[in-house]
Structure 1
Amino acid sequence: MAAKASLKIKGKGGKGSKESSSSKYEVFKDWTNWSLKKAKVATHYGFIPLIIILGMKSDPNTHLFQLLSPV
């Protein structure tokens, strides 16, 4: 016989309405954590390029070499 995979529901057993509201909360929590992790990565890798782009568009106009040189 083939074994069937069973799904286990986290949390306490009880009425269906509690489980559905709890699962909605878990889904919201998972999406929030996922989106914050993605935002953290985007901020981490996008901060320095953003500063360079803003520096190149500032007045007076500067070149990339001028922005990156220490002098």
Structure 2
Amino acid sequence: MTKKAVILTGKLVQDHEYIYPYYRLQEAEFEVDVAVRGKQTVQGIIGMKIVPTKDIPELKVEDYDLLVLPG
């Protein structure tokens, strides 16, 4: 069974606090969703564009094994 993680984020997140867990989880064979309220592309504090795969209200806690909250 595939492990699933979700990263909840928003505008002006510290880019490295999003990037590192995103790619590290993929290396660990997690399926990774990115959730932002409104499912709108946001920009990190250094300028990275983050494209969400989910809107926060769509999430169901039972669908995920891990939650990441970058600062």
TM-score normalized with structure 1 length = 0.25
Higher RCO, 1 or 2 (CA under 8 Å, sep at least 6)?
A: 2
TM-score, with structure 2 as normaliser: 0.25
Structure number having the greater helix percentage: 1
Higher strand content, 1 or 2: 2
Q: Greater Rg, structure 1 or structure 2?
A: 1
